[in-house]
Structure 1
Amino acid sequence: MKKIAVIGQGYVGLPLALAFASHTQVIGFDIDELRVGELNAGIDRTKEADSGILSSALLFWNNSDGDKGYKASFALEDLRSCSIYIVTVPTPIDSFNAPDLKPLHAATRMLGKVLKKGDIVIYESTVYPGCTEEDCVPILEQESGLIFNQDFFAGYSPERINPGDKINTLATIVKVTSGSTPAIAEEIDQLYQNIILAGTHKAPSIKVAEASKAIENAQRDVNISFVNELALIFDRVGIDTQDVLAAAGTKFNFLPYKPGLVGGHCISVDPYYLAHKAVQLGYHPNVILSGRRVNDSVAEFIASKVVKLMIQKDIAVKGAKALILGITFKENCPDIRNTKVKDLHAALEDYGVKADVVDPWANAEEVAHEYGLRLKTVDEAMQSGGYDTVIMAVSHQEFLKMDLTSFCKECVVVFDIKGVLDRAIVDARL
């Protein structure tokens, strides 16, 4: 197998690099020098990689005869010996909800400087249909001086990593593949078949593969927006949304979606990429964008509901203390990318409520850097005590074992966003 470089060593890139490292030599490239140092010491702060697998891959690199193993690097020169480059850098949105391709373009320009005849560049980062061939390939040609589909080739294979999920892992999820020529498409498909136990699906074109990724998460976003809108309606009716969903769920073809805060690196971002392309082509995507508006409104709804419940219990809102349990975008995972808990925190503060956040999974320095919030430890929150409201925002396993009364005053509002607490102690849930 050809030597591979995986560009970006985060939640997607690291598991991918380690999977290939059992078959060939892999350079895990990242511009974060601290991250590279940690990985070469066998430390993965994302907790996505098995420590034993990472250590073994590092040892193989150092002790094998050059046929397999893993090494992390931030040195451009290390990439020159590779023949296949897989790009897994972030593709976020900006403050106007438009695609932010700066990381993707930067990685592409970098690869253009080391690209050789016969090399293949495969993109896994989520993009809109056409981005690989219309945005990235021209950069590769310009930087390398090579001709696309003559001197070098491209492919797209959308990542399907589910952070924190130890059951549905890289190897157990079918992988969509594609290539810029029929022969390259087959080569890329065979490449991934080496590591994907669930098998692959070879798409007929790069654009089809790109679109497949965009609609996966747009579909989930729209479905969740529907049940979130139901939660807004049923709150006014005065009935519990979870009870309604439990009743409706007894029909065989009812889809079991739950209401909640929709954040993370995919579901709350990818629909904007698809919408961006649609608008470019003169079509306004009503369903996709209306779903986004509903989901983006949930944090404000929860904050306003908490405040109303406090008023009903004669709790003074201004100066009240709130404790938010969790800031990661999902349970039992350290990923804080695009978490909507930050919006909930901001909404409560706008009402004059002093909100503290605890999360044993999140990196406190990362939270402070990304969102300007200081996480409290669980012990600090207990010592502080006297909270007027407690909000279960993320159902980490640690929180499910806690006695919430240790944080609270006698008169307190408990809001359960995740629907995991004993209903006897809950004032409302989404």
Structure 2
Amino acid sequence: MELSDVKIAIVGLGYVGLPLSVEFGKKYPVTGFDINQNRVLQLRKGLDITHEIDEESVRKAVSLTFADKIEDIRDCNIYIITVPTPIDNNKQPDLKPLLHATNLVAGLLKKGDIVIYESTVYPGCTEEDCVPELEKLSGLVFNKDFFCGYSPERINPGDKINTVTKIKKVTSGSTPEVAVFIDRLYSSIIEAGTFRAPSIKVAEASKIIENAQRDVNISFVNELAMIFDRMGIDTNEVLTAAGTKWNFLNFKPGLVGGNCISVDPYYLLHKSKSLGYTPDIISSCRNVNDNMPVFVANKFVKLLIRKGVPVNNAKVLLLGFSFKENVSDFRNTGVLNVYRELTDFGLNVSVYDPLINGEEVFLEYGIKLIETPEEDYAGIMLSVAHEAFRNFGIEEYRNRGTLIFDVKSFWDKELVDERL
């Protein structure tokens, strides 16, 4: 296959698939496919509710169309799967979305087609879990009739600088020839360049450790925050002082959520345990970060008690509900467990996040987000550092006696009562 013959289908139009569709759509015929009909209808109008892509960017992708019917991507020869890979309630890998997308594509496969996975998985998942499904349902033979590749997504939601083309891309293929072709395909749109991994498993492993490494580093500073809290030391002041050394890694304490850092380590844990080895460091760090919402909530309650606030039914406000700053995605948000812990203490908790669709939060968790903050709260916790909160008017609340707890060290220290 030559690049001039390429017809691409992107399966899954979330934070990963949509930006990729737009960039490929500037050079190749691309159909962005999603089973969510509302999502497809919105994208056809140039509306992206994730705010990752604007209408002008979609217009520049002159060869991009959107579809919610699987037949509309039958004539493609490159299938790039970018669906979520979550965990279940037992914190085990949930491959249902990935295998569903795989089965849909399997029903379309023709001789010579290439299936590329971008979803984050444990090493071996593409060849051991997905390829057998492709073979079984298509009746074709792997590496004879069709081929596979893996190129881990490197999307940073909310980041308007390090966008998809500005981040170096790892690529791989199931044969040396296919690996070269896939690398050329991605090189044609990735300005930062590509790195061709020696195998699909290496590419899969490279992605999983990116987020596991961040999880480990964040858990270290979170544990420091718990230690220094008992010492009465400001953790951020300690980190600023330590950061004067050239090789000190600058991580900040906080809530760890989303579909990457709080999820991916469990995929590595699962695979490792299946091979008879339990990784102590990764497991321990996950426990630290999973317990951070409880620590944050307890600290907030203690601050209220010290201030003389009767905790039962005290009105408090959480600012932010998404999993990270400046995004509308609230999947696996750490704020959820903060909210639950505070309500268990008997507090009357309101949540305000202007970036999030409140109806979606209510449908998912039964929590009603408020549209406008009130003037009287016993305490306010900044849980997500949205730029929209930069000029929130926190001084006025503090002047009225409201306790201000800044989990993200977002505001000036002089404006708050306590930081994490």
Please confirm whether the aligned pair reaches a TM-score higher than 0.5, indicating the same fold. yes
Structure 2 counterpart of 1:417: 407
Alpha-carbon distance between aligned partners in 1 of 2:31 and 2:229, rounded to the nearest angstrom? 52
The 5 A counterparts of 1:302-341 are 302-341=296-335
**Identical columns (%):** 57
Question: Which amino acid letter does the alignment assign opposite residue 43 of structure 2?
Answer: L
The 5 A counterparts of 1:65-214 are 69-214=63-208
Cα deviation, 1:374-409, whole Å, max 9, x if unaligned, reads 1112xx313xx3211100111111211111255578
Alpha-carbon distance between aligned partners in 1 of 2:194 and 2:267, rounded to the nearest angstrom? 24
* Aligned residue pair count: 416
Alpha-carbon distance between aligned partners in 2 of 1:241 and 1:56, rounded to the nearest angstrom? 46
| DSSP-derived class of the 2:148 partner | strand
Question: Which amino acid letter does the alignment assign opposite residue 87 of structure 1?
Answer: I
| DSSP-derived class of the 1:71 partner | strand
Structure 2 counterpart of 1:396: 386
1:85/1:121 contact within 8 Å kept: yes
- Segments ≥4 residues shifted beyond 4 Å: 405-409
Alpha-carbon distance between aligned partners in 2 of 1:230 and 1:41, rounded to the nearest angstrom? 48
Which of 394, 417, 420 is residue 427 of structure 1 equivalent to?
417
Further displaced range: 46-55 or 131-140: 46-55
The TM-score with structure 2 as length reference comes to: 0.97
Structure 2 counterpart of 1:19: 23
Question: Which amino acid letter does the alignment assign opposite residue 5 of structure 1?
Answer: A
Q: Which stretches in structure 1 are left out of the alignment for 5+ residues?
A: 61-68
Cα deviation, 1:77-121, whole Å, max 9, x if unaligned, reads 111110000000000011111000000010001111111110000
Question: Which amino acid letter does the alignment assign opposite residue 52 of structure 1?
Answer: E
2:122/2:271 contact within 8 Å kept: yes
1:40/1:72 contact within 8 Å kept: yes
Alpha-carbon distance between aligned partners in 2 of 1:19 and 1:370, rounded to the nearest angstrom? 32
1:155/1:179 contact within 8 Å kept: yes
Further displaced range: 397-406 or 332-341: 397-406
The TM-score with structure 1 as length reference comes to: 0.95
How far does residue 412 in structure 1 lie from its aligned partner after superposition?
A: 2.5
Structure 1 counterpart of 2:50: 46
Question: Which amino acid letter does the alignment assign opposite residue 220 of structure 1?
Answer: R
Superposed CA RMSD: 1.1
| DSSP-derived class of the 1:28 partner | strand
The 5 A counterparts of 1:212-251 are 212-251=206-245
How far does residue 367 in structure 1 lie from its aligned partner after superposition?
A: 1.6
How far does residue 369 in structure 1 lie from its aligned partner after superposition?
A: 2.3
Alpha-carbon distance between aligned partners in 2 of 1:400 and 1:391, rounded to the nearest angstrom? 14
1:126/1:210 contact within 8 Å kept: yes
Residues 370 and 408 (structure 1), Cα distance of their counterparts in 2 relative to 1, 3 Å cut: farther
Question: Which amino acid letter does the alignment assign opposite residue 175 of structure 1?
Answer: K
The 5 A counterparts of 1:320-399 are 320-377=314-371, 380-382=372-374, 385-399=375-389
Question: Which amino acid letter does the alignment assign opposite residue 362 of structure 2?
Answer: A
Alpha-carbon distance between aligned partners in 2 of 1:204 and 1:239, rounded to the nearest angstrom? 47
Residues 92 and 262 (structure 1), Cα distance of their counterparts in 2 relative to 1, 3 Å cut: same
1:327/1:357 contact within 8 Å kept: yes
Alpha-carbon distance between aligned partners in 1 of 2:326 and 2:204, rounded to the nearest angstrom? 29
Alpha-carbon distance between aligned partners in 2 of 1:397 and 1:235, rounded to the nearest angstrom? 27
Alpha-carbon distance between aligned partners in 2 of 1:370 and 1:265, rounded to the nearest angstrom? 16
| DSSP-derived class of the 2:116 partner | strand
| DSSP-derived class of the 1:381 partner | coil
Q: Which stretches in structure 2 are left out of the alignment for 5+ residues?
A: none
1:93/1:269 contact within 8 Å kept: yes
